[in-house]
Amino acid sequence: MAEVPGESLGSRIRVCMFDQYGTVVDMQTGLTEAVTPYLKAKGWTGRPDRFVTWWRRTHFENSMIDALLHRAHTPYREIGERAVAYTLERAGIPFTMDEVRALVSEIERLRPFPDVPEALARLKTRYRIVVLSNGDPDMLEAARAHHGIPFDEVISVAVANAFKPHVATYTRAAEILGVAMEDVLFVANHAFDCIGAKAAGMHTAFVDRRKVPFGITPYQPDIVVPDMKSLADLMV
């Protein structure tokens, strides 16, 4: 389960750093609830959850392309609007850009997974708890009122001019916090994010809510847990 037991790792860690979208907040459920009435009003008879999956996959692909281009960093919101517009067009749904912007803004209102608030409150008694997110700074600030987690710091990858898993995002976050890479436990529900953080020099915890294989990679997580409560049980 864990390459390094949580009790042993806990003595080395000063910061627990979290991905926000899909790790702290329930992106799939929240966006599915948001798009369902919109898609119904458009007369679309497909599954809203599959629409959201298309949206998220397209967004991820576009953000990775943006990072690999090594040009000016494109805001997360703009990437999201491109992804939603493409997904609507692919589904044959007529739309306006105002509708696209409204759907993307739902990301700011996402709620945390049920186990997250208590688990992070426990972790906060021992570690600094921090977000490192692909989201734009203003989106992350607006989200605070909806997720309610009192993070010690919320860092957007905009400060590194690249999307995760670019190494610059993790190293810049550690610099901002004034800690060494090995002082950080990076926590994510996404293998790509754990791989990026581990390759950059952080310890990692994979929250395997979806019960999927992590995959073959030299950058295996230090800890694998089924939910955030289990992480807190190991680390506190």
DSSP secondary structure, 57-99, as one string? HHHHHHHHHHHHHTSSPPPHHHHHHHHHHHHHHHTT----HHH
Q: Does the annotation count 19 as an active-site position?
A: yes
Burial of 43 (0-12, 13-18, 19+ CB in 10 A): exposed
Which residues partner with 184 through β-bridges?
Answer: 15
Maximum CA pair distance of the chain? 55
Burial 135-151 (b: 16+ CB within 10 A, else e): bbbebbeebeeebebeb
Write out the catalytic residue numbers: 19
